[in-house]
Structure 1
Amino acid sequence: MKLYFTRHGKTRWNEEKRFQGYQGDSPLLEESYLAIDQLGKHLKDISFEAVYASPQKRAKDTAEGIISHLKHTPTIQFTDDLREIGLGSLEGVKISEARQVYDKELDHLRYQPDLYDPTAFNGESYQDVMKRSMDFIIEAVNKAEKGPLLFVSHGTTLTGCIQMLAGAPLKDARKMGGLGNNTLSVLETKGRQYPPFNLETWNDDSFLAVKQINSVDL
C-alpha cells in the first residue's frame, strides 16, 4: 500500500516568515493555487481509497484543490490529528523576533527535535505531535482495504511523521531537512509489518513549474 503526503500551499505568513502552528492560519498566496493545480494534475490518474487532511484552512483549501483534478474523487476526511504542531504564544510572531528570545529552543525544533522544549511559550512537544499524527496514519492504514491513501498536512507535522514512520529515531526526524510547499512524499508498506515503512519518494517538486523554495517549513 502506498501513502502519499503533501504539505499545504505557501501562505501569507510563510512569505512573511511568521510562525503558523496548530491555532495560527493565514490565506494561501495566489501562486499557491497554480502549484496545487499542478500537483492535482500530477496525481489525477491515482484512485485514492481515502484522502485525509488537517482542517486548518491552508490545508483544507489545498486538499480540495487537489481532488478537484482527480478522476476518482473520494470525500476528504478532516482530522485534528493532522494539524500543525502547536506553537503557543508564538503563533503569528515573526521568526526573527522569536529567535531573539528563544533561539536555542527554535534551533532544537528545526535541527534536534529530541531536545526541543516549548514550555516557555506553551507550545506542543514534538513527541506529542508525532504521537497523534503517526497513530492516526497507522490507524488509517489498518482500516484501508488496499489504498493508496493521501494525507494533506503541514511542514513540521509531516516532516517528522514521514521520517519516523520510515524508521528514523526522534533525534533524526529532521535529518533530511523540511518539506517544501506542495511537494510530494511517498511511503510504502512492507506487507503488514509496519512501521517502519519504505520511504519511496521525499520532497519531490519535479512537477511544479514554479518552485516554492523560500517558504519556512512551519
Structure 2
Amino acid sequence: MELYLVRHGQSQANANHIMQGAKIDQPLTDKGRMQANETKEKLSGIQFDKIFVSPLKRASETAEIIVGSQVTVTFDPRLVEFDYGKWDGQRIEDLVANYPEYFKNASNFKNSWRVSGGETYEKAQKRLSNFMNSLGLDNNDQVLVVSHGMTIKLWLALLLNTNNPERIAEPENAEYTHFSFYHGIPILKAYSK
C-alpha cells in the first residue's frame, strides 16, 4: 500500500493564530486554497484507489480541491484533529503566556490534557491505529488521507515507532507525507513535501 497523508490548507484559525483542534471547524483562507491547489499539482500523477477525509471543513475543502467533487471520498471521524479540550478556540500566544510549561518545553505537552481536559496522545493514537488496521496494509492500493497537523504528527510517531512525538515537527499546511508498506512495515518515502 502507498499511503499519502495530507494536512489541510491554511484555515482562518491558522491565519489568526487560534488553537484549532477537533472542536474548531473553520474553512480555508484564500492562501489555504492556493496551498491545496499546489498539492493537487504535486499529486496529479497518482490515481488514488481510496480517499479518506476528516469531516472537518478545512480538511474536506482541501480534499475537494485535490481530487475534485466527482470523486467519492469517505469521511472518517477517526481522522479529526487532536482534541485540545478547553484550549480549542483560544489564541496561541495567550496559551503560551498562561501555560508556558507545556509550550516552552515540548516534551511536557503530552501532559497538557491534565489542564486542558483534551485528548491524550494515547487516545489519539489508538483511533489512528484502529483506522490503519481497517485499511489492510498488504495491498497495492494508493490511499489518500486528508487530515490535520497534530493528528499526522502523532500518526508519524506511531508508524515510526517512537515514543517521542514531540521530536517530530507537524507538517506544513497542505503538504503531504508518503509511506510505502512492505509486508506491513511502513517505509517513510517523503515528509512534508
* TM-score, normalised relative to structure 2: 0.91
Q: Summarize the alignment of residues 19-38 of structure 1 with structure 2, pairs less than 5 Å apart.
A: 19-38=19-38
Give the structure 2 partner of residue 133 of structure 1: 128
Secondary structure of 1:203's aligned partner: coil
2:58 matches 1:58: yes
Which of 155, 164, 168 is matched with 1:176 structurally?
168
Give the structure 1 partner of residue 177 of structure 2: 185
Equivalent pair of 1:40/1:65 in contact (CA under 8 Å): yes
Equivalent pair of 2:79/2:128 in contact (CA under 8 Å): yes
Q: In 2, Cα distance between the equivalents of 1:24 and 1:65? A: 21
Q: Provide the identity percentage.
A: 24
Equivalent pair of 1:134/1:165 in contact (CA under 8 Å): no
Classify 1:174/1:190 alpha carbon distance in 2 versus 1 (closer, same or farther; 3 Å).
Answer: farther
Equivalent pair of 1:83/1:157 in contact (CA under 8 Å): yes
Which of 86, 90, 94 is matched with 1:93 structurally?
90
Counterpart AA for 1:146? N
Q: In 2, Cα distance between the equivalents of 1:201 and 1:21? A: 25
Equivalent pair of 2:10/2:33 in contact (CA under 8 Å): no
Q: Gaps (5+ residues) in structure 1?
A: 205-218
Q: Tell me the number of residue pairs that the alignment of Structure 1 and Structure 2 aligns.
A: 193
Q: Gaps (5+ residues) in structure 2?
A: none
Counterpart AA for 1:156? M
Equivalent pair of 1:5/1:151 in contact (CA under 8 Å): yes
Equivalent pair of 2:7/2:174 in contact (CA under 8 Å): yes
CA RMSD of aligned residues (A): 2.0
4+ long deviations beyond 6 Å: none
Q: In 1, Cα distance between the equivalents of 2:176 and 2:33? A: 16
Give the structure 2 partner of residue 202 of structure 1: 191
